[in-house]
Structure 1
Amino acid sequence: MKILYLMRHAKSSWNFDGLSDKERPLNNRGRTDAPQMGQALAERNIQLDLLVSSPAVRALSTAALVAKELNYPPERIQVLDGIYEADLDRLVGIVQELPDDVNSVLLVGHNPTITDTVNYLSPSAVHEMTTAAVVCLHFQTEHWADAHRHNAELYFVDTPKNHED
């Protein structure tokens, strides 16, 4: 079985004129939501074999904050340029090209492609992924190349709103 966690980066800031889209940092809410979602994953006893992130600052920051909560070494976060500005076909390709020796992967990326990918791979529809939302899909296969809707189960959808006091 292959387990895929797809996460939309946490809330970013638009308050820095002159920064490129790729350089936008997390805002205060994003810096709160990302570790909160990491804690929620840790409470589920998630053990990652691989954490993959877009190179955008907001995505990589989200990945690092989640990694810390999961005791995943930050130096093992794999940054894939192709995730940034990927369309549906490219992101599905990235998933299906994952190495078969890893079984549990968290991929941190961007909307609308994260939502599109969830809905392409999942047998159940998921409305738009909010910032810092995580979806878990289980695939009944030994090969990432065979990860498709027909062998997938939507295991859970989690958002920061589920963890508000």
Structure 2
Amino acid sequence: MKTLLLIRHAKSSWNDPEMDDFDRPLNKRGKENAPEMATRLLSRGTVPELIISSPAKRARSTARIMAKEWKYPKEAILLEEELYLCYASTFLKVITKIDDDFNAVAIFAHNPGITDFANYLTEEIRIDNVPTAGIFAIEAETDHWEEFDRAKKRFLFFDYPKSEVF
């Protein structure tokens, strides 16, 4: 079994309209939500063995904050250029390259790609929007990431900072 955690970056700052989108940092709420969501994931008994992130500052920062809560070394976070503002199909390209030794993987990325990909993965639920710091989890009945797309999948949970249920 392989578990995939799709995590949207936490809330970012729009204080500097001149700043390049790629370089936007997290705002105060984002810095508070990221560790909260990491802790919620821990309470579910799920901890990623591998973290892959978009290299954009807000995604990288979210990954690092959550990694700290999970006692995952920030130096081990893989930055994947293709995850910056990508399409749903790009996620599959990244996933098929994951080493089969890892059974639980977190991917930090952006909308609209992350919402589109979450909806692609399951017919059980439809998500209008993965909010900032939101986590969508799914399990695939396979031992090989290369087979992830074709494998039977089971929706595990969808959680986000303002969620009432968790």
RMSD: 1.6
* Cα deviation 1:100-148 (Å, max 9, x = unaligned): 1211100000000001111111232331101110011000001112113
Answering whether residue 8 of structure 2 is matched by residue 15 of structure 1, we say no
Partner of 2:154: 153
Partner of 1:55: 55
Q: 2:164 and 2:61 mapped to 1: Cα distance?
A: 20
Matches within 5 A, 1:70-149: 70-127=70-127, 128-148=129-149
Report which stretch shifted further, 95-104 or 141-150.
141-150
Shift, 1:163, TM fit: 6.5
Q: Is the 8 A contact 1:55 1:80 kept in 2?
A: yes
Give the TM-score normalised by structure 1: 0.93
Provide closer, same or farther for how the CA distance between residues 23 and 57 of structure 1 changes in structure 2, counting only shifts above 3 A.
same
Report which stretch shifted further, 85-94 or 137-146.
85-94
Q: 1:92 and 1:124 mapped to 2: Cα distance?
A: 19
Q: Is the 8 A contact 1:13 1:25 kept in 2?
A: yes
Answer 1 or 2: which has greater helix percent: 1
Structure 1: unaligned runs, 5 residues or longer: none
Tell me the secondary structure at the aligned position of residue 37 of structure 1.
helix
Q: Is the 8 A contact 2:53 2:83 kept in 1?
A: yes
Tell me the secondary structure at the aligned position of residue 107 of structure 1.
strand
* Cα deviation 1:45-74 (Å, max 9, x = unaligned): 223210010000000010011111111111
Tell me the secondary structure at the aligned position of residue 101 of structure 2.
coil
Partner of 1:37: 37
What amino acid is the match of 2:148? A
Q: 1:20 and 1:26 mapped to 2: Cα distance?
A: 14
Report which stretch shifted further, 148-157 or 134-143.
148-157
Tell me the secondary structure at the aligned position of residue 93 of structure 1.
helix
How many pairs are equivalent? 164
Q: 2:134 and 2:150 mapped to 1: Cα distance?
A: 20
Provide closer, same or farther for how the CA distance between residues 149 and 56 of structure 1 changes in structure 2, counting only shifts above 3 A.
same
Q: Is the 8 A contact 1:50 1:104 kept in 2?
A: yes
Q: Is the 8 A contact 2:140 2:153 kept in 1?
A: yes
Shift, 1:149, TM fit: 6.7
Structure 2: unaligned runs, 5 residues or longer: none
* Cα deviation 1:22-62 (Å, max 9, x = unaligned): 00001111111111101101112223210010000000010
